[in-house]
Structure 1
Amino acid sequence: MSYDLAVWEGERPADGKAAARIFRDLYDHYIDTDVDHPPSDLIATYVAGLLDRWCDLTEDEDETSPWSTGPLIGEASGPFTYFPMVYSMAEEASAFAASLAQSMGLVCFDPQHNMLRP
Structure 2
Amino acid sequence: MSYDLAVWEGERPADDAAAGQRFDELYEEYVAADGPDVPPTKQIAAFVAALLERWPDLTEDEDDVSPWSSGPLIDEASGPLIYFPIRWSMVEEASVHIAGVASSMGLNCYDPQGQCLWPAMR
TM-score by length of 2: 0.95
8 Å CA contact 2:8–2:109 kept in 1: the answer is: yes
Give 5+ residue unaligned stretches, structure 1. Answer: none
- Aligned match of 1:3: 3
Paired residues in the alignment total: 118
User: C-alpha distance in 1, partners of 2:100/2:3?
Assistant: 16
In 2: Cα distance, 1:11 partner to 1:34 partner = 22
User: How many percent identity over aligned positions?
Assistant: 62
Partners of 2:4 and 2:86 within 8 A in 1: yes
Unaligned runs of 5+ in 2: none
Partners of 2:28 and 2:21 in 1: CA distance: 11
Match of 2:18? Answer: 18
For residues 27 and 35 of structure 2, the distance between their equivalents in structure 1, rounded to whole angstroms, comes to 12
Scaled by the length of structure 1, the TM-score of the pair is 0.98
- Supply the RMSD in Å over aligned alpha carbons: 0.6
Misfit runs of 4+, over 3 Å: none
Q: Following the alignment from structure 1 to structure 2, what is the Cα–Cα distance between the partners of residues 103 and 34?
A: 29
Mapping of residues 1-118 of structure 1, within 5 Å: 1-32=1-32, 33-118=34-119
Q: Which amino acid aligns with 1:89?
A: M
